[in-house]
């Protein structure tokens, strides 16, 4: 019965993963990361339902909070990069290399 | 031999003052610096004279073997103590007596040297170390003095260190001596391993219990040390170069005292490690004979007056070594010759110094000639020394050298005849020196004005020449020295009788006369060329010190330099190269690896995904196994 | 309970912190000198109270540091550690005085240099005093930090290279030792790092050997033994003279001290197993270091290579397993500190006057600066173990003691006396003798400050050269205790002499 939820979760995760790998716009990459996190949340909640305890739900809350914090910091960084470089492409921010 | 008894108090107990006086004087002169320039030489002379007084007072005490303990040096290994016995007192008298005369002479000789104070400090240091050497009651303290005289010798040979030749000669003397010291040290270790102590008393008392091989090994090792210090073959090469030092130094250190330390060592250790007929003793005699001939041959070809005398010193010490290897029968003659040699060789060297002083430090005898009238005192004293060294009847050398030759002849005819031949060569080369210097025609440059030296220099010459006349007869006739030394070194089974004009003695005299005659024909009556003629192969052989230096250079120095360069190369490129190569390798590979860090977020993400996929896959595979 | 050793460490440590904040350079220097002299006075006061016949470890202190792991602040000294602490305390004020103008052109401030000196002193005392293996390890590694900065920030042209090389070598050894320390702790299973708790605990030969190697390689790098030596010439040649003195004079002694204290006492069987190799390495080091010293063109590198030769003698003495050789080796550590200290400092004065450390740039210094030349000669003679100067006593005890057990290696080692004469006197001849060369004519002789630097060292060399008994008595105490825990017997003479006659 919960299989559909897990399949959806896996699909969302895969879409997010592909998005992270192929898109260059930092905002979109960021959204894809969020998508992956939420896929995980969905899986957690599903498993919580399946096992009949609240552990998964609790972890899902944790993930949401971490995600929220991440959005704050991450968006701030992206906006700053955009301001200085006039570009939101992740490939342009490649100074941190060998 | 008498047992050694412990002693404290009294005159004997104060014998350490002998060492303390010159040591304190040296310290004051070195630390005091220029402030002591004005009176430094006076203090420098006072110290050995004071030591001489102490030595005489010890000599006048009842004869015996006294051990004066001073303090614990290395706990469990050795103490510092003095052994006052006839042998050490004899040496102390020679060192302080002749030493004082040479100090006095140096006042005049070094009068114009701005560093005279430093010279006296070093001379005092030498006297202190030499006294420590002969007075020590154990091998370790003896070694302390042994190295001390080596240091003083180094400092004094290199006294005019601004001359590169002097600096090189000083270093050479020290290094060659160190080769001998290496042997000496191994001998010391073996003594300690065998007896568990360095003290003379217990070592000598128990030597008989040790195995023959051990005793021979110790003997040979000590002999190596003795060869270094006494310029015996094969460690002789430094002595001729050592003549770069001021002449009083040559007289005191490189003729009268320090170079005889090897003889002292052999005689002192004789009863234990060089018994009559032992292998080690045989080697001592062979070394002695070889050196006495080598030194004499070198002496025949040298035009530098000091080097001719240095060859002679080698040769005379060869005689002493020969005697010292002959057991108790030879000890007294070795020491007697050492004492008389101390007088006549110091006399000759100081005479040579007086000549050099007059000749603006010219040392080439081909630029001398006809000096006897201009420098009468120097000439007469030098001539007495000359007669003494060639063994002119009734002078000192006659008694002592004859004694050695007779004893050698009794022991082994080959040794004896070689010693006789050596005496003949002595007759030649010493006559050559005298004729070239004092006879013949003037050969010196126009701006040289020879004159007699001041009395502060001539009086020591006069005293030394008086000793050169009478000392030998006094010591040898009625076996005075042998009986006196008996308690310390042992007596032969039968005391030798002195035969004037024995067959051997006559043969010796004949050869000496022949040598002197040849010298007269070639250098006395004939004109001496101012530039040395090329000479035969043999002359060149002698002039080049029997190719000793060439041999050292070919066998030791060249390979040594080569080895040093190889080692430096190996250390830089090999050992350090491995380390630096390792560092470079790590650096290089990480330089390549860091290229993975492209800076593209997507590629990082891809590697994370691939990694995660691989992990999950691996987990899945492993889980299903 | 007493606080001597902690006090000895606290004075320079607090002093270091204080000096780092003094604005005026001159005040900082004077403060450093005063603090180091106070430390010296305290050390002497402690030494006087040491009883040569008392307990193994005296002035012991023990507090829990990390109780969960059995780590303590445990300090105490035996005779061996005591003389080395004394050596450190004597050398530091001399080095401070010698370094008076050495730090002016460094990359960091003058006061930092002097603060580093004091910090180093505290750690040097700590490393010798530690009786907890972990605490020892902490000091062993921590000492690298001030030395790294002293070389890297105040050294010569190649200072960065030398400092990094020094640091990497030492860290490599230190890590091996850390592994061995932890393994020792867990194998012993006593939940304690105390040295006394760890003696004789590891019985299994295989384990002993691995642990021994871990400690030994660290100490061999530190000492340094051939073939782990190449960092020393670089570090010593690039370090300022004062730092070079502490590096070669004291820091390297931690290596040989560690061999004696930790390798031998903790792993006696493994030590016996390794002895042939160590003796061989020592003898190779003695000869090899001497030959390399002869071939050097740089004065400081030459002195560094002579030290490699001398460290060979020390490790030979440590592993010869006779009490005379071990006493000699410990005494050698002290005397070598004075001797090399004098050599490095005088060479430093020479070099700073001429602005070059190449031998070829000198010649005839004796004529213009006789006191400088004379003191250099005395220091050099102590380097070739001239009798009458203290290194002779120790070298003689080492070789004489080693000969009783290992005759042939010792004979080979003894041949270094000839090589030593060559490297010292040849250097002396090339720099001091001969005609005075261009660039040397204006050299000035030693000034008052420099005389105060050199004077005490030469006095120590002479006094202990003629009367080494006080030091030997103290050291013998430590060596005898070590002998008991290693359980060896001295070889007896072939012909025992009933009673020593002199």
Helix (H) or strand (E) holding B298: helix B279-301
CA pair distance B566, B562, nearest whole angstrom: 6
Residues of B in contact with C472 (CB under 8 A): 74-75
Q: What is the C-alpha radius of gyration for chain A, rounded to an integer number of angstroms?
A: 16
Question: Could you list the residue range(s) of the whole structural domain that residue C310 is in?
Answer: 268-491
Q: Which chains neighbour B (Cβ–Cβ under 8 Å, 3 or more pairs)?
A: A, C
Given an 8 Å threshold on Cβ–Cβ distance, is C387 in contact with B143? yes
Across B28-42, B360-374, C269-283, C328-342, least confident range: B360-374
Given an 8 Å threshold on Cβ–Cβ distance, is B196 in contact with C493? yes
CA pair distance B508, B501, nearest whole angstrom: 10
The alpha carbon torsion through B258, B263, B269, B271 (nearest 10 deg) reads: -150
The pLDDT confidence band at residue A69, using thresholds 50, 70 and 90, is very high
Total count of domains within chain C: 1
Judge whether C85 and C43 are in contact, CB under 8 Å: yes
For residue C43, is it within any domain? no
N-term to C-term CA, chain B: 96
For residue C378, is it within any domain? yes
C165-185: average pLDDT: 92
B575-602: average pLDDT: 86
Note the Cα B431 to chain centre separation in Å. 25
CB atoms within 10 A of CB A71: 15
**C58 phi and psi angles, rounded to 5 deg:** -115, 170
- If one compares B550 and B226, the residue with the highest pLDDT of the two is B226
Tokens 């020593």 belong to residue: C500
Residue B283: is its pLDDT beyond 70?
yes
Among C285, C288, C397, C501, pick the best mutation site for testing chain B contact (most B Cβ within 10 A).
C501
Q: Which of B594, B598, B609 sits opposite A94 (nearest CB)?
A: B598
Judge whether B348 and B382 are in contact, CB under 8 Å: yes
CA pair distance B403, B504, nearest whole angstrom: 10
Nearest to C419 by CA among C301, C312, C286, C328: C286
Q: Which of A24, A90, A98 sits opposite B595 (nearest CB)?
A: A98
C476-486: average pLDDT: 82
C239-252: average pLDDT: 91
Q: What ipTM describes this predicted complex?
A: 0.90
Closest residue in B to A18 (Cα–Cα): B606
pLDDT at B553: 80
CA pair distance C472, C85, nearest whole angstrom: 15
For residue C272, is it within any domain? yes
Q: Which of B161, B188, B199 sits opposite C501 (nearest CB)?
A: B199
The pLDDT confidence band at residue C499, using thresholds 50, 70 and 90, is low
For residue C383, is it within any domain? yes
Given an 8 Å threshold on Cβ–Cβ distance, is B600 in contact with A94? yes
For residue C130, is it within any domain? no
Judge whether B399 and B477 are in contact, CB under 8 Å: yes
Q: Which of C324, C411, C422 sits opposite B186 (nearest CB)?
A: C411
Helix (H) or strand (E) holding C114: helix C110-129
Residues sharing a CB contact under 8 Å with residue C29, sequence separation 6 or more, in sequence order? C96, C100, C110, C114
Residue B597: is its pLDDT beyond 50?
yes
Tokens 């043969």 belong to residue: B507
**B550 phi and psi angles, rounded to 5 deg:** -60, -40
CA pair distance B130, B156, nearest whole angstrom: 14
Judge whether B359 and B462 are in contact, CB under 8 Å: no
Strand B78-84 versus strand B66-74 pairing type:
antiparallel
pLDDT at C501: 41
Judge whether C129 and C85 are in contact, CB under 8 Å: yes
Three-state secondary structure call for residue C15: helix
Given an 8 Å threshold on Cβ–Cβ distance, is B81 in contact with C502? yes
pLDDT in tens, B187-236: 999 999 888 889 888 888 888 888 888 889 999 999 999 999 988 888 88
For residue C282, is it within any domain? yes
- If one compares B592 and C2, the residue with the highest pLDDT of the two is B592
Closest residue in C to B81 (Cα–Cα): C502
Given an 8 Å threshold on Cβ–Cβ distance, is B167 in contact with C400? no
CA pair distance C425, C427, nearest whole angstrom: 5
The pLDDT confidence band at residue C142, using thresholds 50, 70 and 90, is very high
pLDDT at B264: 92
The pLDDT confidence band at residue C498, using thresholds 50, 70 and 90, is low
For residue C67, is it within any domain? no
N-term to C-term CA, chain C: 43
pLDDT at C455: 92
Strand B5-6 versus strand B66-74 pairing type:
parallel
Interface of A with B in 10-69 (CB under 8 A): 17, 20-22, 24, 29
For residue C448, is it within any domain? yes
Judge whether B408 and B322 are in contact, CB under 8 Å: yes
Strand C71-77 versus strand C58-66 pairing type:
antiparallel
Q: Which chains neighbour C (Cβ–Cβ under 8 Å, 3 or more pairs)?
A: B
Average pLDDT of every residue of chain C: 90
- How much of chain C exceeds pLDDT 70, in percent? 99
Helix (H) or strand (E) holding B434: helix B413-438
pLDDT at C420: 92
- If one compares C153 and B449, the residue with the highest pLDDT of the two is C153
Residue C500: is its pLDDT beyond 60?
no
Residue C502: is its pLDDT beyond 50?
no
pLDDT in tens, B140-163: 999 999 999 999 999 999 898 888
Q: How far is CA C131 from CA C5, C53, C202, C203, C223, in A?
A: 12, 19, 18, 21, 20
Residue C75: is its pLDDT beyond 80?
yes
Nearest to B321 by CA among B406, B239, B242, B261: B261
- Helix %, strand %, coil % of chain B (to 5): 75, 5, 20
Three-state secondary structure call for residue C78: coil
């Amino acid at each position: 019965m919960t299989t559909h939820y897990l399949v959806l979760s896996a699909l969302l995760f895969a879409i997010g993963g592909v998005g992270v790998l192929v898109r260059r716009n930092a905002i979109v990459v960021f959204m894809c990361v969020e998508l992956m996190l939420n896929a995980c949340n969905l899986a957690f909640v599903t498993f919580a339902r399946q096992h009949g305890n609240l552990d998964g739900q609790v972890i899902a809350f944790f993930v949401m909070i971490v995600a929220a914090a991440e959005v704050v910091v991450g968006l701030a960084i992206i906006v700053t990069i955009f301001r200085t470089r006039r570009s939101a492409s992740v490939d342009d921010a490649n100074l941190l290399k060998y | 031999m008498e047992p050694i008894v412990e002693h404290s108090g009294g005159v004997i107990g104060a014998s350490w003052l002998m060492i303390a006086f010159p040591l304190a004087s040296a310290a004051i002169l070195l630390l005091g610096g220029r402030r002591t320039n004005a009176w430094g030489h006076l203090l420098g002379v006072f110290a050995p004279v004071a030591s001489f007084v102490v030595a005489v007072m010890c000599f006048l005490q009842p004869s015996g073997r006294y051990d004066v303990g001073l303090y614990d040096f290395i706990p469990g290994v050795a103490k510092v103590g003095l052994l006052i016995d006839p042998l050490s007192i004899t040496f102390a008298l020679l060192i302080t007596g002749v030493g004082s005369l040479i100090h006095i002479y140096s006042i005049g000789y070094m009068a114009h040297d701005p560093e005279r104070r430093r010279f006296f400090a070093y001379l005092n240091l030498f006297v202190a170390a030499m006294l420590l050497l002969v007075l020590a009651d154990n091998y370790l303290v003896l070694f302390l003095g042994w190295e001390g005289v080596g240091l003083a010798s180094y400092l004094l040979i290199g006294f005019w260190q601004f001359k590169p030749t002097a600096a090189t000669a000083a270093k050479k003397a020290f290094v060659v001596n160190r080769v001998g010291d290496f042997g000496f040290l191994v001998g010391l270790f073996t003594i300690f391993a065998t007896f568990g102590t360095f003290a003379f008393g217990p070592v000598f008392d128990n030597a008989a219990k040790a195995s023959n091989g051990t005793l021979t090994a110790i003997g040979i090792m000590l002999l190596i040390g003795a060869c270094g210090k006494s310029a015996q073959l094969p460690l002789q090469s430094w002595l001729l170069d050592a003549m770069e030092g001021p002449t009083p130094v040559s007289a005191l250190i490189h003729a009268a005292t320090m170079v005889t330390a090897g003889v002292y060592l052999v005689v002192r250790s004789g009863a234990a490690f060089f018994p009559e007929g032992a292998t080690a003793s045989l080697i001592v005699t062979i070394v002695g004979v070889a050196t006495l001939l080598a030194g004499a041959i070198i002496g025949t070809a040298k035009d530098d007056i000091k080097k001719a005398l240095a060859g002679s010193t080698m040769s005379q010490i060869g005689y002493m070594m020969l005697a010292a290897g002959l057991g108790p029968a030879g000890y007294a003659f070795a020491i007697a010759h050492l004492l008389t040699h101390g007088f006549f060789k110091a006399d000759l060297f100081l005479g040579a110094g007086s000549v050099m002083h007059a000749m603006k430090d010219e040392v080439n005898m081909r630029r001398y000639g006809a000096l006897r009238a201009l420098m009468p005192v120097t000439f007469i004293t030098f001539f007495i020394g000359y007669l003494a060294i060639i063994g002119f009847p009734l002078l000192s050398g006659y008694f002592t050298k004859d004694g050695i030759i007779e004893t050698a002849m009794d022991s082994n005819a080959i040794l004896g005849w070689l010693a006789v031949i050596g005496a003949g060569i002595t007759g030649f080369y010493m006559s050559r020196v005298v004729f070239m210097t004092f006879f013949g025609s003037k050969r010196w440059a126009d701006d040289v004005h020879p004159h007699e030296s001041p009395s502060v220099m001539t009086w020591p010459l006069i005293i030394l020449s008086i000793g050169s006349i009478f000392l030998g007869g006094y010591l040898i006739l009625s076996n005075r020295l042998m009986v006196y030394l008996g308690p310390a070194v042992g007596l032969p089974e039968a005391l030798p009788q002195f035969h004037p004009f024995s067959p051997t003695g006559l043969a010796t005299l004949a050869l000496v006369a022949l040598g002197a005659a040849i010298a007269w024909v070639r250098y006395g009556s004939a004109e001496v060329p101012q530039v040395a003629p090329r000479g035969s192969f043999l002359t060149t052989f002698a002039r080049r010190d029997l190719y000793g230096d060439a041999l050292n250079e070919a066998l030791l120095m060249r390979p040594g330099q080569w080895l040093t360069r190889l080692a430096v190369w190996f250390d830089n490129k090999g050992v350090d190269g491995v380390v630096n190569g390792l560092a470079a390798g790590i650096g290089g590979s990480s330089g390549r690896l860091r290229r993975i860090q492209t800076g593209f977020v997507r590629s990082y993400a891809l590697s994370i995904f691939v990694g995660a996929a691989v992990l999950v896959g691996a987990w899945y595979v492993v889980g299903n196994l | 309970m007493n606080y001597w050793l902690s006090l000895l460490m606290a004075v320079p440590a607090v002093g270091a912190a204080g000096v780092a904040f003094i604005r005026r350079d001159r005040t900082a220097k004077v403060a450093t000198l005063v603090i180091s002299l106070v430390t010296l006075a305290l050390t002497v006061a402690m030494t006087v109270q040491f009883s040569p016949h008392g307990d193994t470890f005296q002035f012991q202190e023990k507090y829990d540091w990390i109780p969960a792991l059995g780590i303590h602040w445990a300090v105490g000294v035996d005779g061996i550690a005591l003389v080395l602490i004394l050596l450190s305390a004597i050398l530091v004020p001399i080095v401070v005085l010698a370094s008076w103008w050495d730090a002016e052109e460094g990359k960091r401030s003058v006061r930092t240099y002097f603060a580093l000196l004091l910090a180093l002193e505290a750690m040097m005392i700590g490393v010798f005093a530690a009786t907890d293996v972990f605490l020892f390890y902490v000091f062993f590694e921590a000492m690298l930090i001030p030395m790294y900065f002293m070389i890297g920030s105040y050294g010569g042209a190649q200072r960065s290279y030398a400092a990094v090389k020094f640091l990497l070598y030492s860290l490599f050894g230190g890590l091996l030792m850390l592994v061995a320390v932890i393994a020792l702790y867990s194998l012993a299973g006593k939940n304690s790092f105390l040295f006394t708790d760890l003696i004789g605990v590891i019985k299994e030969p295989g384990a002993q050997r691995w642990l021994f190697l871990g400690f030994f390689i660290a100490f061999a790098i530190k000492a340094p033994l051939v073939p782990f030596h190449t960092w020393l010439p670089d570090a010593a040649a690039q370090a300022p003279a004062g730092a070079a003195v502490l590096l070669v004079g004291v820091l390297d002694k931690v290596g040989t001290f560690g061999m004696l204290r930790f390798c031998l006492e903790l792993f006696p069987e493994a030590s016996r197993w390794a002895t042939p190799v160590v003796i061989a390495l020592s003898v190779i080091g003695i000869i090899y270091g001497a030959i390399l010293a002869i071939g050097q063109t740089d004065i400081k590198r030459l002195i560094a290579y002579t030290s490699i030769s001398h460290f060979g003698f020390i490790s030979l003495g440590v592993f010869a397993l006779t009490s005379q050789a071990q006493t000699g080796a410990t005494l050698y550590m002290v005397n070598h500190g004075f001797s090399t200290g004098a050599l490095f400092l005088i060479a430093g004065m020479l070099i700073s006057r001429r602005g070059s450390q190449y031998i070829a740039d000198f010649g005839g210094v004796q004529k213009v600066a006789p006191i400088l030349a004379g003191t250099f000669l005395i220091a050099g003679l102590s380097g070739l173990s001239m009798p009458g100067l203290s290194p002779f006593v120790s070298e003689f005890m080492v070789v004489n003691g080693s000969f009783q057990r290992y005759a042939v290696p010792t004979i080979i080692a003894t041949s270094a006396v000839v090589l030593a004469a060559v490297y010292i006197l040849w250097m002396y001849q090339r720099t001091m003798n001969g005609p005075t060369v261009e660039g040397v004519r204006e050299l000035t002789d030693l000034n008052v400050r420099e005389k105060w630097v050199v004077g005490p060292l030469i006095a120590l060399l002479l006094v202990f050269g003629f009367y080494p008994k006080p030091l030997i008595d103290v050291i013998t105490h430590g060596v005898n205790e070590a002998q008991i825990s290693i359980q060896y017997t001295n070889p007896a003479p072939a012909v025992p002499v009933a009673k020593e006659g002199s």
